[in-house]
Structure 1
Amino acid sequence: MLLNLFGSGKESMSAVDTAWLRMDRPTNLMVITGIMFFEGHMDIARLRGVLESRLLKYQRFKQRVVRTGTNAAWESDPDFDIDNHLHRVALPGDAGKPELEAFVNEHISTPLDFGKPLWQFHLVENYQGGSALVARIHHCIGDGIALIQVLLSLTDKEADGDSAPAPKKLKFQAGEREPDDPFMRLYKPVAKMYAGVLKSYGKVLGTSYGLMMNPGKIAEYTQTGLAISQGLAKLAAMPADPRTKFKGKLSTAKRIAWSESLPLPEVKHVGKALGCSINDVLLSCVAGALRAYLVEKGQNVDGLDIRASVPVNLRPESKLDKLGNYFGLVFLPLPIGVANPIERVYEVKRRMEEIKGGYDAIITLGLLSVVGSLPNIVEQPAIEYFSTKSTAVMTNVPGPRDPIYMAGNKVSDLQFWVPQSGEIGMGVSILSYNDRVNFGVMTDKKLVAEPARIIERFGEEFEKLVLATLLSVVDCPPDPELAELHLAVLRMQSEAGKHA
């Protein structure tokens, strides 16, 4: 429990969570938005029961934010009513994807009510013969890893699972990922290093006793401090990202789109055939899609790199079942200027290898803690400054490998969108579920009015990479992975024929 600065009944907000709270602005709301799609019609009474027993056991969802000067705190909402947060709606017209996109677009640009707990669910009762749950939760409550796990704690592995007692403790799955899962190659080394740095600096900053008793540790501390100092200098000297169709003055209107999902096994086959991770393959597809959009808009992309701010999970073992924000950021230059899909995936791999051993994520988490402790007049220029160094926020969250159920209804798919800070105008979200990979894009309407023009290219770029991979190894001996890729091409051609 943090030191209580607000008196009885209030809990002080952490400095990092306060930083995310104060990033909220009309042009970029700090709200994470997600959708659960259901095969059948959701019973709202049963859904309400699940929320009351499983969501509201976390006090955060019954607390509102109070602010005084530079500080912020959580206090119980004396008038809390779940009906202020759970709404039922019906889509107009054909009640299909365009209508749901329009509904989300309308709400994604609308601030949450700060007089109440900062979350809101809308049950869409008539989506494509089934239903959908649109969830909006403010970033100060938790980061993407925490919030996706909270939502998953509302689900079960069987249709009647909600009749059993609610789990006593939330179990996070961030560390239970396959070695080649998205972002795992980045997460593990940095997370381990972060834990070591915290331990070292806890001794240095807390007392000199550790050094007196262990003088041999001085070199270790000095080396760590030097590395962080060099990282800070490098970050400060990083130039602003180039101006493209994705970067400019923002409006107060956002637009979202989501893709048809990619089969995760086929993404794995491509990665294995090329000696790359799933993450390398997916990020290469993102870079290719952004490149294709810029080319369509007449922009010169020769030699172009644009940076993506990539959240890296730094959640300590002691915080695995806690809400709040425990992540730093790394700046990944996407090789937009590389046209060849195979060259591009290897370039992504090379750049990821360069990043994963650095201290960038630790430094940015520390900076967020510092600015969250300072007056807002100091934080805002700092956020503006660092937001010039990126064009997009890009994040990946692992979902369940097997189908799940919520309030007796099978979840057919999952989707989410990451918010952007400062003057960043685009967010790219990747989410895996049930052996599929989904992409979501959020853009500023003034910069990219139709993000669907970007999102539809992810699948196209993956197909190009599959074909290029097959052609590049045409003279090699038969390989099971390549055989699977060949079958994947046949399946994609068959699907294309059906829709022709």
Structure 2
Amino acid sequence: MGIETDEPLSPAGRLFVQPATHQIINSVFGLERAIGLDALRAVISDSLLIMHPRFSSLLVTDDHGLEHWRKTELNIDRHIIVRPDPVGEGDNDEEMVNDYIADLTVSCPLNTDKPLWEIHLLSAHKCLVLRVHHALGDGISLVSLMLTLCRKLDDPEQTPTIGPLSSSTKKVSKKPGTWENIVKVLKMVWFSLVYVCEFMMRGAWVKDGKTVVSGGEGVEMWPRKLVTAKFSFQDMKTVKSAVVNATINDVLFGVISYGLSKYLDSRSPDSLQEGLQITGVSLVNLRPSPGLQDMKELMKKNAGATGWGNKVGIVLLPVYYHRNRSDPLQYLKRAKMMMDRKKLSMEAVLSHQIGYFVMKYFGAKVASLLEYRVICNTSFTISNVVGPREEITVAGIPITYMRTTSSSLPHAITMHMVSYAGKADMQILVAKDLIPDPEKLAKCFEDALQEMKEHAVQM
């Protein structure tokens, strides 16, 4: 096929194929019973997944070192990896599957002689592991596309729907006056200036204080351990209702702040200063996220740079260590204040523009180094993706859980939460030489939510 048909990667896509910031999304679907190979092949063949140009294109590099997508003939069988036997010697399926994925995050890149995705069929553990290179698209769009493999449990002809995290009820409030608008604009300008300066300083020299959960340069190559923290979505909504105008994301960061404080106390209680900042990194999608119906329309159009890909900004999310825990909801209130300021600012957009400027004038390697330094100078990665509210199936088999994680990073802790059918599971990927007891860390997060809930229902 001629080079005139090649399509260049988006700037963020180029970032995700650089060695320092190479990223693969590893998602797992737990099943009520094992799925057969023929049934899986039929599901993939009939899905929108393989209709998308990115999923039938090779990653190629031209003579100038620029990456492109090149259409190729798709052989589905090359993308299905069958593992009929147990993949480990753990105590249960969850532990063995998590260990299997943890190994994938460090040592198993995707082969570039085929399109950059594959599905691992773990028959002994009744689950599917979907591996998709982040260069193919942003996380939310990829999750939406993956869900075209599925159908609703109570309506097998319909694909799943994804709702917003917050309540869909619209709140009626009076229209802000001129003075209120002026104050809001001034706050936006101020917070944007402060946060973008912090972002640039993080890429240069400013870093979190050293703690037992600190990573750093080279940590992305260290052995990993993966565990799951399990939350009730209803519990999160109960906690959310205890603070006016709070969101599920506010609750999540309150839980992380409280849980990290509890964990740090168990590891090094005498060496920590009250109010110590522990900074997280989150990628924010700046592109309108297509729903499943929009995906079908997208298939009919050119899915080029304007319709697909990655357009993301970086947001720094600080949480703080505190010893006084008489009121766990204080962690939520502090998290909400921080998140409100972040949402008011233009931090995500400006960090994207900075990255684009560096990419355009200095190249992908320099842009990758900037992001790598930001990660090295912070303490954890966090993401939160909304999954289907209703139960769903694949090939008529009910899905019992949905979870996701990404390739390892210089952070010692990487957290990805996905909600599904009233549950919210957070995959916690750790460098096990730095955090030898990730099960305790997961328990700290789970206990943090429970204690917040107990205080919320007493109010």
Q: TM-score, normalised by structure 1?
A: 0.75
Distance 2:209 2:46 in 1: 49
Whether the 8 Å contact between 1:309 and 1:329 is mirrored in structure 2 is: yes
Cα offsets for 1:191-247 (capped at 9, x unmatched):
xxxxxxxxxxxxxxxxxxxxxxxxxxxxxx9x9999866654343245322222222
Mapped partners of 1:283, 1:56: distance in 2: 36
| Residue of structure 2 equivalent to 1:243 | 210
Residue number in structure 2 paired with 1:111: 109
Worse overlay, 140-149 or 275-284: 275-284
Which residue matches 1:40? 33
- Which is higher, the Rg of structure 1 or of structure 2? 1
Comparing both chains, which one has the higher relative contact order based on Cα–Cα distances under 8 Å and sequence gaps of 6 or more? 2
| Amino acid corresponding to residue 119 of structure 1 in structure 2 | W
Partners in 2 of 1:318 and 1:266 — Cα distance? Answer: 28
Conservation of the 8 A alpha-carbon contact between 2:238 and 2:457: no
**Residues 30-429 of structure 1 aligned to structure 2 (within 5 Å):** 30-54=23-47, 55-68=49-62, 69-78=64-73, 80-89=74-83, 90-91=85-86, 92=88, 96-109=93-106, 110-127=108-125, 131-158=126-153, 161=156, 173=162, 176-180=163-167, 232-237=196-201, 239-249=206-216, 250=219, 252-259=221-228, 261-275=230-244, 276-299=246-269, 300-301=271-272, 302-316=274-288, 321=295, 322-337=307-322, 339-340=324-325, 341-373=328-360, 374-419=362-407, 421=409, 423-429=410-416
Give the Cα–Cα distance (whole angstroms) in 1 for the partners of residues 368 and 248 of structure 2: 36
Q: Structure 2 counterpart of 1:307, which letter?
A: T
- Which letter maps to 1:268? K
Which sections of structure 2, spanning at least 5 residues, go unmatched? Answer: 171-184, 296-306
Separation (CA, whole Å) in 2 of partners of 1:256 and 1:295: 21
Amino acid at match of 1:443: V
Gaps of 5+ in 1: 1-5, 185-220, 474-500
1:304, 1:254 → 2: CA distance? 27
Deviation, structure 1 residue 180 = 4.5
What is the TM-score with the length of structure 2 in the denominator? 0.81
Residues 234-262 of structure 1, C-alpha deviation per residue, up to 9 Å, x if partnerless? Answer: 43245322222222341524424343532
Percent identity, aligned pairs only, is 21
Q: Which residue number corresponds to residue 177 of structure 2?
A: none
Specify the alignment match of 1:437 in structure 2.
424
Partner of 2:17: 21
In structure 1, C-alpha distance between the alignment counterparts of 2:190 and 2:455, rounded to whole Å = 44
Cα displacement (A) at 1:282 = 2.0
Aligned length: 414
| Alpha-carbon contact 1:180-1:279 (below 8 Å) kept | no
Distance (Å, rounded) in 1 between the aligned partners of 2:429 and 2:193: 34
8 Å CA contact 1:304–1:335 kept in 2: the answer is: yes
- The amino acid across from 1:401 in the alignment is R
C-alpha separation between the residues in 1 aligned to 2:374 and 2:24?
A: 20
Q: How far has the Cα of 1:442 moved from its partner?
A: 1.2
1:16-54, Cα deviation, whole Å (9 max, x unpaired): 2111221x34xx641111110010121221111111221
Conserved 8 A contact 1:312-1:361: yes
Between the aligned partners of 1:10 and 1:338, the Cα distance in structure 2 is: 56
AA of the residue aligned to 1:44 = L
Cα 1:57–1:450, aligned 2, differ >3 Å: closer, same or farther?
farther
Quote the residue 2:173 is aligned against: none
Q: Which residue of 2 aligns with 1:11?
A: 7
2:178 is matched with which residue? none
Q: Report the RMSD for the aligned CA atoms in angstroms.
A: 3.1
